[in-house]
Amino acid sequence: MKRFDIDVIVFDLDGTLIDSRLDIANSLNWALGRLGYASLPIEEIETYVGNGIAPLIKRTAHSAGAPEDEEKMLNLFRQRYFERLLENTRLFDTVSETINSFIGKYKMAVVSNKPERFTKKIVEGIGLYDAVGDVVYGGDTLPVKKPDPAALYEIADKYGAPTARMVMVGDSAVDMITAKNAGAVCVGVTYGFRPVDEIREAGADRLIDRFDQLKELIV
């Protein structure tokens, strides 16, 4: 099997490094309850994750029949989620040991569409901040977010490596398209929030069922 000769690994956050579904769902349903709406099942909420908080709230508000309360819901969710985002969130199996094995061999970074202050708080709280060299981008770090490749270009410049020697690891079509737009390799994880067909059809160069399988794909 062909292995990819790379210098930089860029990770998506939700659905790739962490299982954050319960904390997101709990905070979202709390916001719905405060506004007098019924809770939504976690299985539905997770399909709304991946493009940032504002799109998450927009889809939730419309699903709940509450488009007129979208702004209130957004503000309530942001407040609640920032306070509770590490209550149940955990690393997926083999993430910690795999990333630790990469230290000193590859440069690493996290790029999420979640706002930067939320992203950095989580990355630090789960113990990965030092491993990724403090290179953590949220959806509002730059004027544009994934699938725009701007963050990947900045990371390439920061580390002095071409994007062709970069791999983006994620669980969604957004991540795969971001990598393609930057000329980077893209690896999709099958255990995340999005359907496997979505990441396959978006052009994933490889699919992995466990995070530690990434070690078998890169030189």
- C-beta separation of 80 from 23 below 8 A: no
As a whole number of angstroms, the distance between CA 28 and CA 40 comes to: 9
As a whole number of angstroms, the distance between CA 45 and CA 5 comes to: 37
As a whole number of angstroms, the distance between CA 112 and CA 105 comes to: 23
12 carries an active-site annotation = yes
Structure tokens given for 191: 């255990």
As a whole number of angstroms, the distance between CA 103 and CA 97 comes to: 10
> Where would I find the H helices in the chain?
21-34, 42-46, 53-63, 70-84, 95-102, 116-125, 150-159, 173-182, 196-201
> Where would I find the H helices in 103-149?
116-125
- Please pick, among 7, 12, 140, 171, the residue that the annotation labels catalytic: 12
Tokens 């393609």 map to which residue?
180
Q: Which residues are catalytic?
A: 12
